[in-house]
Chain A
Amino acid sequence: MYRYNDFDRSYVRDRVEQFRKQVERRIDGTLSEEEFKPFRLMNGLYLQLHAYMLRVAIPYGTLDSRQMRQLAYIADRWDKGYGHFTTRQNIQFNWPKLRDVPDILEALADVEMHAIQTSGNCVRNVTSDHFAGASADEINDPRPVAELIRQWSTDHPEFAFLPRKFKIAVTGSPVDRAVTRAHDIGLRMVRDDDGNDGFEVIVGGGLGRTPVIGTVIRDFLPEADLLPYLEAILQVYNAIGRRDNKYKARIKITVRETGVEAFRTLVEDRFPVLRRVFEGGDRDFARQIRAAFAEPEYADAPTSPFDAAMDNDPAFRAFARTNLHPHKNPDYGIVTISLKAHGATPGDATSDQMRLIADLAEAFGHDEIRISHEQNIVLPHVHKKDIPAIRAALSEAGLGTANIGLASDIIACPGMDYCALATARSIPIAQQIANRLKDIEAEVGSLKIKISGCINACGHHHVGHIGILGLDRAGTENYQVTLGGDATESARLGDRAGPGFSADELIPAIERLARRYIEVREDEGESFIETYLRAGKEPFRTALYGEAPRPAAASRS
């Protein structure tokens, strides 16, 4: 794992002191709320429905036990004993006081963490594959690249006041677990015929009110050219991105209105001069950073406890089937800890749960923890012999739910329970769907349900196999359903199913979709999304609305 050097340490401390002074100036009135806003946002501090919300970066989703324990401490000392893990690999604390925030940031700095650029119109926390460095299917660990981008984008003087927020994701595997096609810039590591690493550069993807699947503007960018090329893209966007309408300010609109070819030309025009500005220091840092992400020293031991549990314990087998992913070392496994117990708030973890996970990572997981964009927690390097003990400890703490990738493993934004922008509740919908589908989800298999409480789409509903968008229709919550979305390398936006549902009608409607899938699939090997793409919308539409031309069940208030 990357460790802060002296520069990182003093930089983060300086930022805490700078923000402490900005808070003082806000409190004494020398900064107006309007003037203070971009500075608090640059430090992750939002004003929400009921209180301030602090969003802490977990860069590329990687942390260790000490950092996880500190998050638990912050939750206990300055919040209400829990935190919420988000779809961008951050953790949010929902109840901090403005005066306490500088102290919280200082507590984060103590463990090499920060909340810098987790909001505001700047380059946000860089996200990556939550199985990075562990998964059997990757070309190379993408986290060193993400760390390089973190450093480059931190306090970049040109890009702190962009037209709108800017999100970058990077994956090192052809299997895209980082949703790179729905980011402002997505980077997919590729290796050319001569064995050189580089990137496929995707630009202009995004969800929100205008969902767009990103476009490739460079098939192969040599790794050494990464920072100047990113800088060229950001320069073009900062210069010509729209500032007259916040809903048209994201780069996806810039690319669309400029035209992909014209946009590419502008980027390529700027690239050579920027390339000359980087004189090799970035490559030195890149090498140092990569060395810091060396693989753990794997244990060489028999896997017999695992094998025995697989043979004799059906509940363990169920857990292994869903929550275990192949590690590049065959004696190891990647264990995903579900934060989606049926009826729980997706992504929430109590301080006790955080401490338990920290203990397990330290005892059994080479001290590494990951946060996934699907709002679960991952132990990326676990020897198989230890997995039965881990599962037992998790189950005792209510963290043993065997549902990763199943219908109840739902992404949901905070929705109207917390968020000032929300138009409907998300969390209770997720809880009810999870409970409703509990008994059939094993039979249904892989099914990604994603719920957003407003059109800003923090819950990624556009790319859910089943997407749910909560809206406000004349004072009543109304939920629109989309079908057939895909967040992976075969990214696809879901299709609107038809009229929306009330909250009460929605839950049985989702169950009808799941049951219809079981009827329509060719066999158990054909997943929900595969069935949808083969059979089309019609069988699912009729499951939702019945055979009648006018849906009888749906209310359109």
Chain B
Amino acid sequence: MRRKAAMRLLVAALIVLHLAILLAGFIAPYDPAAQNREFAYAPPTRVRFFDASGFHWRPFVYAISADFNGVHQDRSQKYPLHFFLRGENYKVLGVITTNLHFFGVERQGRIFLFGTDAYGRDEFSRLLYGGQISLAAGLLATFITLFAAAIIGTVSGYYGKFVDESLMGSAELFLCLPWFYFLVGVRAFLPLHLSPASTFLLLISVIGLIGWARPARLIRGVVLSARNRNYVLAARGFGASNFYLLRRHVAPETFGVLLTQAALLVPQYVAAEAVLSFFGLGIAEPVPSWGNMLSTLQQYNVLVSYYWLLAPALALVITSVTYWVLADTIHHWLQSHSI
């Protein structure tokens, strides 16, 4: 019973996380590239219910003003928080243009839930938009890896002999290269400065193609044992073709491994994208990704003074933990349901 409740919680967390990131434009109050140079490094705006005259049902924020000492609250002016208000234009899922935002304040007021960065860009909006890049990179790279791993692992396990030996030999080759060195090494041979879109494609292919070896080995193991099951041998005896056997009997058995591996690989690849962008080898400004947002923290003064810029790290932790729990849950579920 407790397991079931935990699973519901997990599914809810996953849905909320992905929906928030998918609908970044709707939830984010500002455009991720919109700069407010006068409000650089503004601390997170506090959403309040109480002022001098007592409690208010509608939450509000105080105005902010900037001088040489930084950004301050200005208590003389307050702006109530509105929901479903009109703001800057954005595209829903990249198709429909609209200007409806989930929340915000009037144009004169500012609401920076997670503060602002060096250019006065809203960290909260950037976090959501950056999540689109980071998560998409993780998911697509995982898809590439598992696609390659499924084909290689199946062929290797099913056909055996020379094919198996050469494929698994090269898998071992890939496994004995330290992963980040390899990743940076491969990245080194590709052009440095590209448009954000091609950088993104390049990045996911590099991350995705380097990681095929480990899942391929696992899939090979499953295929190897599935191939010699009695019912498979019987089907072969009845004249089933290789393709039929693979599709009908062998491939379905690898499903569990693929699912668990996917849940394990996504957070790993999201982190890989973050590291490459952190190094300046990934997605470049002004397009936000969790990695390039973190890269400002390489300056010690930023790291010490502006704690709110650690928000992408928190997002990475939340994503990784939910996916990790997901992998664990799938693993347990498969174990209790296996024959």
Question: Do A and B belong to a common assembly?
Answer: no
